[in-house]
Structure 1
Amino acid sequence: MSDVEKTSAEDREKKRSLPNDDSDEHDSDSGDRRHKRVAVNDSRSSSPQRPQHRRRNSDDASRPKGEGAEGDMPPTTALRSIVSTKDAGIIIGKAGKNVSEIREQSGAKVTISEMVPNAVERILTVSGPLDTVAKAYSLVAQKVIAEHIDPDAAPENESTAIRLLVGHHRMGSVIGKGGSKIKEIQEASGARLVASEEILSGSTERTITITGVPDAIHIAVYHVGA
């Protein structure tokens, strides 16, 4: 074998024994790709949490404002008045007929206190939204008037009196400065209003007497309640 042939054979042998750079680069790229795939998988694994958060916000936004809130309901007002035992019987009616009609036609709750031996008066309590309370008092007036007039007469054209009970500390807001408020109520309703000066015995309340036809009593009671 010549010297040239020996040299060529040795060179080939050396090349075979050297590390394969292409192989190393391939392995390095494969490792990088594997690393990148893990990062993608981690990102995907966290993605379901985002729509979950968005759904909660969407639910909150679609919920009607004020749903179930007590502010949506009209406030309840309770107005009490003094009635004679005779008028109490008229308001109740036979087998409760009159009071049932007043409740149905007004939408208010109407109750009368139990009869006390030797007492000449009872307490009528009407409660509900203010417009229903005022309506109930006008119906009470009609029932009482109808009992005292001729059957041919029209109760709506006759006058009667309702004696409302008002807390002493609240009477000022009904009367107004120099009687200005009570005058406004009289002008608006056509009824006559008189506030008692003295507190009732054993009580913290005073009375305000409203005199007029049922429609006038309706308007006056509404303004007093307001």
Structure 2
Amino acid sequence: MKREADGDMGAPFKRSRRGDEEVRILIPSKVAGAIIGKGGQNITKLRSQYKASITVPDCPGPERMLTLSSDLDTVCNIVSDVVPNLEENGGRINGDELDLRMMIHQSQAGCV
């Protein structure tokens, strides 16, 4: 029987086999459709353009998890492409600021 690590909360952080980084960003559910695109057009384009794993699972709550998995430079480029889409489609709070929440593993928290 496997014992849990001290302070283990939630799903474990997973790294892909190629040494890629995984970045998770909470996005408003109302903006997720613009990122996915009609029939998945936008997300398919991002996946093929960057050759990265990009997912936005369906969720009944007010926010959804955008998961990006690739090398760090590619993940940064994808975020640079996605942020304007968030700004245009209602991701702003109070009309001025963009609220971007990233979920990071505790092992990477010191890097931030």
**In the alignment, structure 1 residue 104 sits paired with structure 2 residue 48:** yes
Say whether 1:139 aligns with 2:77.
no
Summarize deviations over 1:7-45 as a string: whole Å, max 9, x none: xxxxxxxxxxxxxxxxxxxxxxxxxxxxxxxxxxxxxxx
More strand by share: 2
SS in 2 for 1:138: helix
Larger Rg: 1
Which residue number corresponds to residue 102 of structure 2? 164
Instruction: Give the distance between the partners of 2:107 and 2:99, measured in 1 at CA.
Output: 23
- In the TM superposition, 1:30-179 aligns within 5 A as 75-116=19-60, 119-147=61-89, 160-168=98-106, 170-171=108-109, 173-174=110-111
CA distance in 2, matches of 1:83, 1:98: 16
The structure, 1 or 2, with the larger RCO (C-alpha pairs under 8 Å, 6+ apart) is: 2
CA RMSD across the alignment: 2.3
Give the fraction of aligned pairs with identical amino acids, expressed as a percent. 30
Instruction: Give the TM-score taking structure 2 as reference length.
Output: 0.66
1:104–1:146: structure 2 CA closer, same or farther, 3 Å change rule?
A: farther
How far apart, in 2, do the equivalents of 1:88 and 1:114 lie?
9
Report how many residues are paired: 90
TM-score computed with the length of structure 1 as normaliser? 0.35
Secondary structure of the equivalent of 2:69? Answer: strand
Flag structure 1 segments of 5+ consecutive residues without an equivalent: 1-72, 149-158, 175-223
Q: Where does structure 2 lack aligned partners over 5 or more consecutive residues?
A: 1-16, 91-96
Answer whether contact 2:31 2:89 (CA < 8 A) is retained: no
Query: Is the helix fraction higher in 1 or 2?
Result: 1
Q: Is the 8 A contact 1:108 1:136 kept in 2?
A: no
**Counterpart residue type for residue 101 of structure 2:** R
Q: Shift of the alpha carbon at 1:161?
A: 3.9
Tell me how far apart the structure 1 counterparts of residues 40 and 71 of structure 2 sit (CA, whole Å).
23
